[in-house]
Structure 1
Amino acid sequence: MPEQRRVVLAVTGAGGTRLAGRTLGALAASDRVGHVDLLVSANGRRLMAHESGADAAADPVRCLLGAPSPKVTVLDPEKDFAGPPSSGSYRTWGMIVLPCAMGVMGRIAQGQADTLVERAADVCLKERRPLILCVRETPFNLIHLRNMTQVTEAGAVVYPMIPTYYNVPRTVEEMDEEFASRLLGFIGLHDDDTYEWGRGGR
């Protein structure tokens, strides 16, 4: 039996929340992931509702996956500031923020823990655990770039929500699936179905 990880996944107020659904589904389906703490900000809920057509008050897991999952615990970042991921004694593999709003990244860069999202990210940095920030913005201004540099120097990884094209995706769903697969491969949860250049590639 492989070692099972505990992973924190945060959804903040930036477009592309369906990628969070793809990633959450893959984490929940992995036999190497035992538990996922899902943090959805107020703006993240609004974006999820806008992009999925669901009610903003709907259960985030049902909204992202279409059904509940026994592996997933939902925490409200504004109300559950003292939730388990707020402490370094709560042992996790690390944290993915997907999508990561630029304001959230800026607060992480400055050490401003206003909600459980920023506090959990701060814990990952101080405990030297992986922190993956999937930013979604274009173009980047100088403040964005400086904040990216600062979080990278602190130990985080900036992983922009940029799709691949060399695998010649034919649908938006294929692009989403490839991004989620690459992201999980990046954190060591490789999927054998992920496109790989040179392995039957072009």
Structure 2
Amino acid sequence: MTSSKRLIVGISGASGIIYAVRLLELLQKTDVETHLVVSRAGEITRTHELGLDAKHLHNLASVSYSINDVGAAISSGSFRTMGMVILPCSMKTLAEIATGVTSNLLTRAADVVLKERRRLVLMVRETPLHAIHLKNMLTVTECGGIIMPPVPAFYTMPESIDEMVTNTVCRVLDLFDIEVGQLKRWGEEIDLGGSKM
């Protein structure tokens, strides 16, 4: 498998695990190899928010790792990938990444992605935000990461939560140049209401 077709998917304990599940489902229909790592709090959120068993979640990925497996392939910069997305990303996980703390495989893999100058996208989930949260987001951004909160696009006129989740996940995949054919694009699939010149 070539590096251009490997994506690391991280799940932390913040609310919104449905985004990760949808992303993994969409990527199963592509030639992208997914490498999944879920924090302990992420496993709790999986049960609480979706009632999904661990086996089902981990089977959505091409490869799945234990949070404590610090010797996993994704913990090394020599294992080439297109980058990593953490969705949802808790403030704890954000803080570890911003300060270079690598207490588990999730934050180690993110640190590797940053040091190798690959794309790191964090779907941060918290509100309201205080100065420490904002400073950590700024630090990650200054290191080359992308902060992408799950903000719904109401201009797509979504008819369900499912549509909003899918649209947001497709925007994440766009950041890795992965096209799954389900994103409503402004000026293309969405009527702008104006006349074409």
TM-score > 0.5 by shorter chain: yes
SS at match of 2:154: coil
Runs of at least 4 residues of structure 1 off by over 3 A? none
Hey, what's the Cα distance between the residues in 2 that align with 1:27 and 1:54?
Answer: 19
Residue by residue over 1:12-33, the C-alpha shift from the partner in whole angstroms, topping out at 9 and shown as x without a partner, is 00001011011011122112x1
RMSD: 1.7
Gaps of 5+ in 2: 193-197
Corresponding residue pairs, total:
190
- The reply to whether residue 84 of structure 1 matches residue 73 of structure 2 is yes
Q: In the TM superposition, what is the alpha-carbon distance from 1:196 to its structure 2 partner?
A: 1.1
Q: Does 1:63 align with 2:52?
A: no
| 1:193 is aligned to 2:182 | yes
Judging changes above 3 Å, is the alpha-carbon distance between structure 1 residues 149 and 4 closer, same or farther for their aligned structure 2 residues?
closer
TM-score between the two structures when normalised by the length of structure 1: 0.88
Name the amino acid aligned to 1:44: G
Q: Distance in 2 between matches of 1:135 and 1:3?
A: 26
Paired letter, 2:174:
G
In structure 2, relative to structure 1, the CA distance for the partners of 1:51 and 1:201 (3 Å cut) is: same
1:41-190 matches, cutoff 5 A: 41-55=39-53, 58-59=54-55, 62-63=56-57, 68-69=59-60, 72-77=62-67, 79-190=68-179
Letter in 1 for 2:52: A
What runs of 5+ residues in structure 1 fail to find an aligned partner?
Answer: none
Do the aligned partners of 2:3 and 2:81 also contact (CA within 8 Å) in 1?
no
Q: Distance in 2 between matches of 1:151 and 1:100?
A: 13
TM-score normalised according to structure 2 size: 0.91
* 1:3–1:29 CA distance, 2 compared to 1 (3 A): farther
SS class of match (2:6): strand
